[in-house]
């Protein structure tokens, strides 16, 4: 017999389905071309169900970005582990770095958000809250790497975190816009070069692989 969902469980399920539908549609069509009706039809709900969870599609969009960030948050925080060797830390960091934005839907939604924020000061302020959380995670990892290696970062961790995010997004955008000009392997090689440079500056004797 199928378990009957509580009201809270039902609400969480509805929210998840709306987020999933919005993520796909925003990535496929863009934010402006996607209507609330498109989202509810794809999720299998009514407009009333949408407005019971979100005030506007912009609220839904921000929650999609926040959920995407939270998907990687625990993995970033888990990197700061004194129980592993520095070599293991670097390997884990390389693996996590290579995985960023492999999901095209995730990347396209962040790219859409960047463009909207450049034009809309109100949305920019809302995106900044989510973006600041993401960069704080990266700041912590950068600080941790240098602390473990006994060195000092050549730039403030916040600046290096901005470079980290900007490089990934720039390389990914180029790869998607001109797939014949840059392969996934080449894109990851470029990003690994940036990471290896950070490792060298950390004062570690580990040679970049």
* pLDDT tens per residue across span 148-205: 888 778 888 888 888 888 888 888 888 888 888 888 788 777 777 877 777 777 765 5
Helix, strand, coil percent values for the chain (each to nearest 5): 75, 0, 25
Domain 58-201 bears CATH identifier 1.10.357: yes
The span from the CA of 203 to the CA of 171, in Å, is 27
What pLDDT was estimated at residue 98? 67
Mean pLDDT, residues 37-48 taken together: 96
Contact 153, 160 (CB under 8 A): yes
Instruction: Identify the architecture of domain 1-54 in CATH.
Output: Orthogonal Bundle (1.10)
What pLDDT was estimated at residue 111? 92
How much is the pTM?
A: 0.82
The span from the CA of 41 to the CA of 20, in Å, is 12
> Where is pLDDT greater, at 15 or 155?
15
Q: What is the tens place of the pLDDT at every residue in 136-152? A: 888 888 888 888 888 77
Mean pLDDT, residues 58-66 taken together: 96
Task: Spell out the domain ranges in the chain.
Answer: 1-54, 58-201
What pLDDT was estimated at residue 136? 87
Mean pLDDT, residues 19-48 taken together: 96
B/e letters for 65-80, b = 16+ CB within 10 Å, e = fewer, are bbbbbeebeeebeebb
Mean pLDDT, residues 14-41 taken together: 96
What pLDDT was estimated at residue 125? 95
Tokens of residue 28, six digits: 């496929």
Contact 23, 63 (CB under 8 A): no
The span from the CA of 155 to the CA of 148, in Å, is 17
Q: What is the tens place of the pLDDT at every residue in 119-132? A: 999 999 999 999 88
The span from the CA of 42 to the CA of 38, in Å, is 6
Residue bearing tokens 């790869």: 175
The span from the CA of 164 to the CA of 92, in Å, is 16
The span from the CA of 169 to the CA of 176, in Å, is 11
Residue 102: pLDDT over 70: no
pLDDT interval class at 208 (50, 70, 90): very low
């Amino acid at each position: 017999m199928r378990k009957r969902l509580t009201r809270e469980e039902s609400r969480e399920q509805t929210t998840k389905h709306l987020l999933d539908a919005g993520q796909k549609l925003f990535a496929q069509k863009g934010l402006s071309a996607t209507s609330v009706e498109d989202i509810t039809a794809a999720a299998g709900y009514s407009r009333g169900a949408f407005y019971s969870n979100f005030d506007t599609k912009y609220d839904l969009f921000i929650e999609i970005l926040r959920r995407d960030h939270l998907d990687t948050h625990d993995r970033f925080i888990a990197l700061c582990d004194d129980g592993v060797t520095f070599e293991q830390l670097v390997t884990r960091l390389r693996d996590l770095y290579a995985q960023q934005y492999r999901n095209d839907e995730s990347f396209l939604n962040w790219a859409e958000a960047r463009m909207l924020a450049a034009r809309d000061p109100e949305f920019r302020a809302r995106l900044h809250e989510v973006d600041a959380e993401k960069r704080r995670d990266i700041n912590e990892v950068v600080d941790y790497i240098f602390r473990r290696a006994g060195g000092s970062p050549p730039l403030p961790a916040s600046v290096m975190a901005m470079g980290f995010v900007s490089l990934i997004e720039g390389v990914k955008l180029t790869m998607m816009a001109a797939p014949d000009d840059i392969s996934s392997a080449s894109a990851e090689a470029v990003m690994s070069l940036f990471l290896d440079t950070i490792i060298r500056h950390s004062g570690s004797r580990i040679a970049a692989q």
